[in-house]
Structure 1
Amino acid sequence: MPAEYPRIAVLLAAYNGMLWIEEQITSILSQAGVDVTVFISVDPSSDDTESWCKNYAVRHSQVVVLPMVGSFGGASGNFFRLIRDVPLDSYDFVAFADQDDIWFQNKLSRAVSAIQIHQVDAYSSNVTAFWPDGRHHLLNKAQPQVSWDYVFEAAGPGCTYVMSRTLAADFKESISTNWRYLQGITLHDWYCYAFARRNGYRWFIDPEPSMSYRQHENNQVGANKGLRSLIARYKIIHDGWWFKQVQLICRLLGLESDPFISSWLNLRRSELLRLSFSAWKCRRRVRDKFFFFCICWLTALNGGGKQE
């Protein structure tokens, strides 16, 4: 009898992806030891991405293109649409995919094994970032999880996420219920990790990279590497976006009444100063704990965070 492999639904959000999408889908369909179906949702594009995907799906039964439903304005809304609209009941696992990466052949089989061995509900991993000039760099996101990291950061790039059927079903129901409010969430991977941890699901972050993470000028969120990246991230935080996302995530997840969250959620000056001394339980990496401490102080000294 032929081997019965785990069935995995891969959810791929596409937008103006003609330069890279074929190489990416080829790497997904080449996954070893799993039974893969790729579901693609295309944000209206100017480079014929939708037509190419439809033609590709005609020739490959493992690829399904969802009907166009208008513009999402970013990857987050597109991924939420995929979770909401794709029928997931017959799949053992659900994975996210970007349009421009290259997956290692054992990416999904390694994720499934890790979920089973560690008895967890979700998986993510490190990645190897690569640039057009040939540079490569390991992005390490596998530091030990801490009590509140999920409120302030993702579990690494969302394109490495693999969820169990149970978690995916729970996440799907939550997305349908909170659809209108989720339109304010900018990063689906951050919210997915927060939802899982908030609801008691266990998450494993693999220190081994599972894919080549392409870097180019159109990345919505790229590799957090170097001084320029650090300055760019500080500017985003200083402009109020990051703390606004933190507030929205906390409210969507019903965390307002938690004593720790409520002690700083209004982002007043005194609250931010108090929060800064909890940096050790808010970010995973030592460098990020220090950066978090500094951001809290700088934001407080500038009059506090932006409130909703």
Structure 2
Amino acid sequence: MSAAPPLHILLATYNGARFLPALLDSVLAQSDPDWVLLVRDDGSSDDTVAVLHRYAARDARMRLVVDGAATVGIRRNFERLLDCARRAGAASFALCDQDDLWCTHKLARMRAALDGAQARHGPSTPLLAYADLALIDDAGRPIAESHFGWAGAPQVRHGVDTWLIAHNLIPGCAMVGNRALLELALPFPSQVFHHDWWLVLVASAAGQVIAVDAALTGYRQHSGNAIGAASPTSRALDFIFHFRRSLDEARAQYGGAVDQAAALVERVGAGGHHNWIAAAGAARDRLGAPLRRVRIRAILAGPVRRIGLARNVLMLSASLFALRSRRRERSGAPSVR
């Protein structure tokens, strides 16, 4: 056995019994054996907990987190797991989804990328590494070789830029991070929209993000996905045929981006990279401006834009109503549909 400290794999479950055994089998089959799997179930009503207990009895590296809390949702579920890892002294962590498949060498490749970055930048630098994913269907059959290519953003295979402030294309199940990132990202501010988006934002603004140009996860697409992958064409068709729903989702993401940008400036502050803090401040002040014309100008002229024309058109549409909708939500008044 190597002397490497165990990497803490964090698995949030909820009614995932159908695909969970395949995921757990792929984790148990990792070529890197130095890991601990922390699992917190969020109140499943199917056989998820029974599956977890069965696998935990087989391998002592798998530990169930029982905190007595009610169902808290995916964001808070992962926050609790991240905090458990921090309190357990984790030197590094990986996020894990209940319905995916891990390639045998995923953990080894991702740990090597993280360790290499830590050797270059030091353990006090918040670090996050991510890899591409291959899309698979319910039966595990291939849909696409590259999640980023399927999403119309192949450049994400090689790194991130300040577009990340406006939207995130990197699923949490593709990420690993170090202890310095845990310490800075926790506790989550109330404005956090998605846990994985927040983690990669903090690492980008205050540390380093490393792209591993390989697909190391089978990212399963099915009707039960909390957040799945969609091609630009399917998103465009969805926008046309389900306009109202798409616009509501776009407004929520727009508002979430503005709120997270404000939280990022507050959390990272002057110690962050100047270009990231400046871009986050612009998103907070200009994308979140009360005047519609200021918001529109900010999208058209930058510095915070999304990848691809269609995403920016959707962002522009959302900006026309985003602040009005958010004011109604905060005041408790019903929004006009």
Which has the larger displacement, 84-93 or 4-13? Answer: 84-93
Q: Deviations over 1:225-278 (max 9, x none)?
A: 253334547756621211121122123223699552313322632122212224
8 Å Cα contact 2:254-2:319 kept in structure 1: no
- Confirm or deny that 1:167 pairs with 2:181: yes
1:83-138: CA deviation from partner (whole Å, max 9, x where unpaired): 12344554331110000101011111111222233446111111001113634202
Q: Determine the structure 2 residue equivalent to 1:260.
A: 282
The one-letter amino acid of 1:145's match is: V
* SS of corresponding position for 2:26: helix
SS in 1 for 2:226: coil
2:253 equivalent to 1:238: no
Would the alpha carbon gap of residues 301 and 154 (structure 1) be closer, same or farther in structure 2, given more than 3 Å must change? closer
Partner amino acid for 2:253? W
- Pick one of 206, 217, 221 that aligns with 2:223: 217
1:5–1:34: 8 Å Cα contact kept in structure 2?
no
Q: Larger % of helix: which? A: 2
Identity over aligned pairs, percent? 20
1:231/1:188 CA distance change after superposition, 3 Å: farther
Q: TM-score, normalising length from structure 2?
A: 0.77
Distance 1:123 1:59, change over 3 A: same
User: Structure 1: which 5+ residue stretches go unaligned?
Assistant: none
Let me know the Cα RMSD of the aligned residues: 2.7
1: CA distance, partners of 2:218 / 2:111: 19
Q: TM-score, structure 1 length as denominator?
A: 0.84
Is the counterpart of residue 116 in structure 1 residue 87 in structure 2?
A: no
Count of aligned positions: 294
SS of 1:115's equivalent?
helix
1:132/1:248 CA distance change after superposition, 3 Å: same
What CA distance in whole angstroms lies between the structure 2 residues aligned with 1:231 and 1:158?
26
Cα distance, 1:281 vs structure 2: 4.8
Structure 2 regions of 5+ residues with no counterpart? 122-126, 149-155, 270-276, 328-337
Deviations 1:179-237 (A, max 9, x none): xx25xx44211111122223x11001222111111111100111122533345477566
Residue in structure 1 matched with residue 25 of structure 2 by the alignment: 26
String of CA shifts for 1:45-68, please: whole Å, max 9, x gaps.
111212331232133201000115
Say whether the 8 Å CA contact 1:155–1:193 is kept in structure 2. Answer: no
Deviates more, 1:57-66 or 1:128-137: 128-137
Partner of 1:139: 147
Show the counterpart of 2:202. Answer: 195
Q: 1:237 to 1:203 in 2, by over 3 A?
A: farther
Question: CA distance change for structure 1 residues 33 and 300 in 2, over 3 Å: closer, same or farther?
Answer: closer
